[in-house]
Structure 1
Amino acid sequence: MQKLLLGAVLATALSTSAFAAAPRYKVSVVGTGIAGAALNEAGHAVSNRWGGGGAVTGMFYNGSTNVSIGTLGGSTSWVSGINKLDQVVGFSATGTADHAFLYGNGTISDLGTLGGNASQANAINDSGIVVGKADLNNGQTHAFRYTTTGGMQDIGTLGGSYSSATSVNAQGDILGYSTTASGAKHAFLYANGTMTDLTVKWSAISPDWGTVVGLDNLKFGHDGSIVGSVGFDWMGSNRFGMVYLNDQMTVLGAAAQVSGRSASGLTLMSDSPVPNSLVYSNGHYSQITDLLISPNDYSSVFFQYNTDINASGQILVAGWDINQQQTATYLLTPVPEPETWAMLVAGLGMLGWTARRRRTVA
């Protein structure tokens, strides 16, 4: 009986919080002088730090400090992805060309190329599948899939000479871009060994909007969606935020880019052309600054670009500190709304009363 009651209380609390436009957040500083790139479920992050002469160094944040991941022998490194094992991917100068790397446990490893000079890793999933792009010995550049057992594998193109993989989900499905035989740039989904042209597919399912002419910043959401930005033939160079889920495309007009989506559907957005961090939930748009628990503590910070969100809804965001005159990266962690806590406390109190009553009756 107590277990059933607790389940009912929890369900009620969760359903109550689900109707909130967006959660409230507490803020912690990942680091100053860095731009965050990606976030894992533990709240660990990777960022890029600009140094003198335009040099960039990839940084790994372990929850308390930032650690340089080093390079492959050259002067720079750039990070782009991290998984739950704290494995980090990106690309680094080797002294002759940029190569994709895999970093873990303090060691950075060169992933090589597809026979050409350069390569670049863009994302990694929790199983350790790395995706990116690499040069072939014929001068073309193709998207790749890398595993420790299979090495770097060419996944092909949509008929052109160029492709690049940008995101990989838990199932190993891959998103990216490719040129077609005519030279046009299209988005693709690679799954079960087959590359599907998303630009063509989504043009066919969105007749009310028109023909898709641009898909950018595509990545997988944690709820099975695909997010990014989309443009249509009648919009010129304009882009709208986009969420594709269950074979339906939702166009979000309040921002030009969707940066990620949590398991609950909380959608991370960045406005454009004026940088502005937004959160979209249940039909409501909210600015990050309006959702902070202690907004006065960060009144000098202009939150500009949302870069990533994990499954539980933590947000990695880059901002500009007006007082310090420098870029900084922040980790925003959602906290339960007061009514949710009240519901849980009331439920626990009810359980205690039920237990006491049962002992009295006995």
Structure 2
Amino acid sequence: MLKKTMTAIALVAAMASGVSAQAATNDNYGTLLSGDFTPASSFATLSYNNIGNVYYFTLTANDLNALFTNKAFIGSIAVDADAKATVSSVLGDSPVSYKNGGGPGGIYDFRFDLFQGQDRLTANESVSWTATFNGPVELNSKSFALHVQGLTDAQGGSAWYTVSAVPEADTYAMLALGLGVLGFASRRRKVQ
């Protein structure tokens, strides 16, 4: 009986791995891609995960008023993916729709628009949606660019942003080396 149960569990695990959900990715945005204004810190987080060709997104805006201006809003997300998407299950503070055309530089294939009339994603708001792609797609941090609109003239009116810089591997190596030296020095002091 135990052997049959273990075989059944292994079979279910093998089937589940074929259609497994990937761990959620959380990307913070604030690095200027195109435009004139760089905010002092990250202004939004895009979280996403998928099961096959179905992606689940949540976009959360930080305090855009403090980082940009009180009229700033996130107008769209440009996406670099060779597949079309159908948007469904939109919940939150702004609409989400699929539109042809992308962002800056001509590398983006389409965009998710986050406004309709006066409905838009502004400071401290969030929106979640499901995107079902018509073919295989693998999205990652480099697949997206966020468009912030409603900036002042001095800020350039609008700008596109990509994922905030993540520390390089050598930065972590230097940190580990520094902690090792501190640990060694501390141990030597205790021994003496």
What TM-score, normalized to structure 1? 0.17
More helix by share: 2
Q: TM-score, normalised by structure 2?
A: 0.28
Question: Looking at both structures, which has the greater relative contact order when contacts are Cα pairs under 8 Å and sequence separation is at least 6?
Answer: 2
Question: More strand per residue: 1 or 2?
Answer: 1
